[in-house]
């Protein structure tokens, strides 16, 4: 058990594997470049608000920035209420800023996913998983959908929360408050991340 803990601490510090730094650089470049290319392509093809974006924009225009999500969202999804206030209330007149924000979230999620997966598999495989994820044809990679900002942010928070829990576990620290807080914020932003986050937490605890 002691040897396993020491091995885990070395992996988390990046001390195992001489190629870890190069792989981290590769994942970082891919994580930045691919979402940026997507944003540029969307900008060149033309993009704008769709579907329920218009309802939230209307709410923000007539009722104020943080009324964008509607009257019930503060209770149902407090995280989404805040995200919508920022996206549609403060950034709504400049959709390109929203596009760049979504690209940044996607890039950060890709890198965080690599950091989490290398806990369970070799660095190269973890990098492949992260790169495949950023290439997958999901909603945030195929189109511009501002109303999905809370979903993208919830995923990022969930992955970062799992990473924080794992780091706290190997470091032998007390209650993993940061990881728990990030997971709670993810659930408050989009409850559908809860099952996947629960599986990840169990994997971290029992591995």
DSSP character at residue 121: S
Q: Which of 2-11, 151-160, 198-207 has the lowest mean pLDDT?
A: 2-11
Residue 6 has pLDDT above 50, yes or no: no
pTM of the model: 0.81
Long-range contacts of 24-32, Cβ-Cβ distance < 8 Å, separation of 24 or more: 24/114, 26/127, 27/110, 27/111, 27/114, 27/127, 27/130, 27/131, 28/111, 30/110, 30/130, 30/131, 30/134, 31/106, 31/107, 31/108, 31/110, 31/111, 31/114, 31/130, 31/134, 32/107
pLDDT-derived band at 185, boundaries 50, 70, 90: very high
Taking only the tens place, the pLDDT of each residue in 113-153 is: 999 998 888 989 999 999 888 887 666 555 677 888 899 99
Distance CA 32, CA 97 (A): 16
Residue 16 has pLDDT above 80, yes or no: no
pLDDT-derived band at 160, boundaries 50, 70, 90: very high
pLDDT at site 18: 54
pLDDT at site 172: 59
Closest residue by Cα to residue 200 from 113, 130, 137, 122: 113
The terminus-to-terminus CA distance of the chain in angstroms comes to 11
């Amino acid at each position: 058990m002691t040897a396993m803990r020491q091995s885990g601490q070395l992996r988390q510090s990046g001390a195992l594997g001489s190629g870890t730094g190069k792989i981290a650089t590769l994942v970082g470049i891919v994580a930045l470049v691919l979402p940026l290319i997507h944003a540029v392509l969307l900008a060149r093809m033309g993009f704008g608000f769709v579907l329920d974006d218009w309802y939230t924009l209307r709410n923000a225009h007539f009722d104020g920035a943080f009324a964008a999500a509607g009257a019930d969202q503060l209770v149902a999804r407090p995280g989404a209420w805040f995200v919508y206030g920022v996206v549609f209330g403060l950034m709504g007149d400049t959709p390109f800023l929203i596009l760049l924000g979504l690209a940044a979230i996607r890039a950060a999620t890709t890198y965080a996913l690599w950091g989490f997966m290398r806990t369970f598999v070799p660095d190269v495989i973890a990098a492949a998983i992260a790169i495949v994820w950023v290439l997958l044809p999901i909603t945030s990679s195929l189109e511009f959908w501002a109303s999905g900002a809370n979903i993208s942010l919830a995923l990022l928070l969930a992955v970062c929360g799992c990473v924080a829990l794992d780091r706290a576990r190997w470091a032998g620290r007390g209650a993993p408050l940061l990881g728990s807080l990030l997971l709670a914020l993810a659930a408050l932003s989009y409850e559908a991340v809860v099952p996947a986050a629960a599986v990840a937490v169990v994997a971290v605890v029992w591995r």
